[in-house]
């Protein structure tokens, strides 16, 4: 799969009715660590909204160590420049599920739909 184009990945998931990972449903375009150093402004705005404790932890580390997660911008600056993902804002129940340590929902669905994060921003190394 690593060599596949993104549309091929979504096509096979749709063909088999595999439920997209919750972060993709919430608008995230990449699933590595939520507080990724390559995060774009919208990602940091979303984290500040849905996981304020995690956001404040990173902001606190920036203050404590005297450097920012990105060379010229703090997470606060990044979040201020972005808007939270609309799908995350619109689905607080799904946000709560995504922040749980485990997933107990269905793995397959007959009503598959392309998630909000598909083909979205995915900064950082491939």
What percent of the chain shows pLDDT beyond 70? Answer: 96
What's the mean pLDDT in 102-126?
A: 86
- Averaged pLDDT, 4-21: 96
d(CA 89, CA 102) in angstroms, rounded, equals 21
* DSSP secondary structure letter of residue 28: -
Which spans in 40-106 are helix H?
41-50, 52-65, 75-81, 86-90, 92-98
Full-model pTM: 0.90
pLDDT score recorded for residue 124: 59
Residue 36 contacts residue 69 (beta carbons within 8 Å):
no
Is residue 125 very low, low, confident or very high in pLDDT (cuts 50, 70, 90)? Answer: low
Predicted confidence (pLDDT) per residue in 56-100, tens digit: 999 999 999 999 999 899 999 999 999 999 999 999 999 999 999
Q: How far apart are CA 107 and CA 20, in angstroms?
A: 8
């Amino acid at each position: 799969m690593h060599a596949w184009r993104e549309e091929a990945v979504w096509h096979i998931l749709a063909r088999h009715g595999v439920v997209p990972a919750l972060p993709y449903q919430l608008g995230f375009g990449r699933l590595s660590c939520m507080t990724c150093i390559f995060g774009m402004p919208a990602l940091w705005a979303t984290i500040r909204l849905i996981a304020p404790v995690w956001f404040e932890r990173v902001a606190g580390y920036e203050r404590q160590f005297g450097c920012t997660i990105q060379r010229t911008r703090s997470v606060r600056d990044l979040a201020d420049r972005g808007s939270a993902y609309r799908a995350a804002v619109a689905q607080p129940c799904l946000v709560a599920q995504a922040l749980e340590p485990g997933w107990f929902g269905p793995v397959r669905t007959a009503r598959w739909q392309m998630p909000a994060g598909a083909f979205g921003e995915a900064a950082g190394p491939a």
